[in-house]
Amino acid sequence: MTTPLGRLMGIIPPVATPMTEAHEVDAPSLERLVAFLLDAGVHGLFFLGSTSETALLTPRQREQVLEVGIRAAGGQVPIIAGISDTGTASVIEHARVAAKHGADGLVLTAPFYLKPNQGEIVAHFRAVCGAVDLPILAYDIPVFVSTKIERQTVLAMADEGLIVGLKDSSGDETSFRLLAAETRDRPDFALFTGAELLVDAAVRAGASGSVPGLGNVDPAGFVRVYDAVQAGDLDGARREQERLCRLFAIVQIGVADGMALAASAFGAFKTALMLRGVIATNVVGRPLTRYDAEQTRRGHGVLASVGLV
């Protein structure tokens, strides 16, 4: 399948899902967040990823995120939509909803909870690919789904035409580097890193770009890193990447206080967006713990240290 996603490149933030105090989707805040990201020059938007807290949303809320977000984007950049779930039947339903609302492509992890083997992962992707006529980007994030999509599985699915690329959040830098080399001569294969601290290195190694959760907080900074590498300004890219590494300290605030990693990371992004005036609250999906006043104060300090407030 020849698709626009085969040429997808650049910075594509996995858009956070703002919530009201009643734990509903905050549509006006989501609209402002989309505008904030587009104004920063991002190259695409990824709704319903891990940073979107998709696993904590109801099907109705998932659809609302797509409806509001895609409408707010107004066709300015490509839109990819996460469709991951525990089983193939549910994933196909999510995929059809995403297609209905105008997503340009889909993002799919291995099924979670039951820990499928590699053959079952391929069968899962094959069934979804056959059910919906949209290109699929595989998403390797074993820390959340418990099963890694092995490099040879990725290549086999690409050969079969089941996927047009990969978002790699595996933390396996060796596998990522080998995959970058093995797909360098495949112009229709898009390889993205989810590692916020290594965007400059990944793009230099041949990645198409990055899907950084921290890109919600400082999308312009990540665009500057990408643009600098593309322009050959490696020193400029390194300096900007090092500033973003300092910003990443905001994610560790909750962890230092005993919070779960997911609550600390997603809470940090939302707290920073609230402090920057983009969204109304830092409410996270239940049962995750919200950043409190003291953690928010420390988050403000991190933002100030890198020039964001």
**SS3 annotation, 244-291:** HHHHHHHHHHHHHCCCCHHHHHHHHHHHHHHHCCCCCCCCCCCCCCCC
Contact present, 19 and 281 (Cβ < 8 Å): yes
Residue 40, both tokens = 């920063």
CATH of the domain at 127: 3.20.20.70
Give me the sign of the Cα torsion angle 68, 32, 213, 42.
positive
Residue 187: pLDDT band (50, 70, 90) is: confident
Per the structure, the count of domains in the chain is 1
Q: Is residue 284 part of a domain?
A: no
Residue 123, both tokens = 């069968």
Per DSSP, 93 falls in state H
Three-class SS of residue 238? Answer: helix
Q: Is residue 186 part of a domain?
A: yes
Q: Is residue 97 part of a domain?
A: yes
Model pLDDT for residues 103-118, shown as the tens digit of each residue? 999 999 999 999 999 9
Q: Which of 113, 115, 148, 167 is catalytic?
A: 167
Give me the sign of the Cα torsion angle 216, 35, 15, 221.
negative
Q: Is residue 124 part of a domain?
A: yes
Please give the single-letter amino acid code of residue 97: V
First to last CA, the chain: 45
Q: Is residue 73 part of a domain?
A: yes
Model pLDDT for residues 225-255, shown as the tens digit of each residue? 999 999 999 999 999 999 999 999 999 999 9
Q: pTM for this structure?
A: 0.95
How much of the chain, in percent, has pLDDT values that exceed 70?
A: 98
Q: Which of 139, 226, 270, 291 is catalytic?
A: 139
Q: Please indicate whether residue 115 is annotated as part of the active site.
A: no
Q: Is residue 63 part of a domain?
A: yes
Q: Please indicate whether residue 148 is annotated as part of the active site.
A: no
Longest dimension (CA), the chain: 51
Three-class SS of residue 99? Answer: helix
Close Cβ partners of 239 (under 8 Å, ≥ 6 residues apart): none
Range of the domain at 168: 4-234
CA distances from 173 to 117, 154, 180, 195 (A): 22, 15, 10, 10
Q: Is residue 109 part of a domain?
A: yes
Lowest-pLDDT range of 23-27, 97-101, 185-189, 241-245: 185-189
Q: Is 17 left (phi over 0), alpha (psi -120 to 50) or beta?
A: beta
Predicted confidence at residue 309, as pLDDT, reads 87
| 4-7 CB contacts, 8 Å cutoff, 24+ apart | 4/78, 4/104, 4/105, 4/135, 5/78, 5/80, 5/104, 5/105, 5/135, 5/137, 5/164, 5/165, 5/190, 6/135, 6/164, 6/165, 6/187, 6/188, 6/189, 6/190, 7/187, 7/188, 7/190
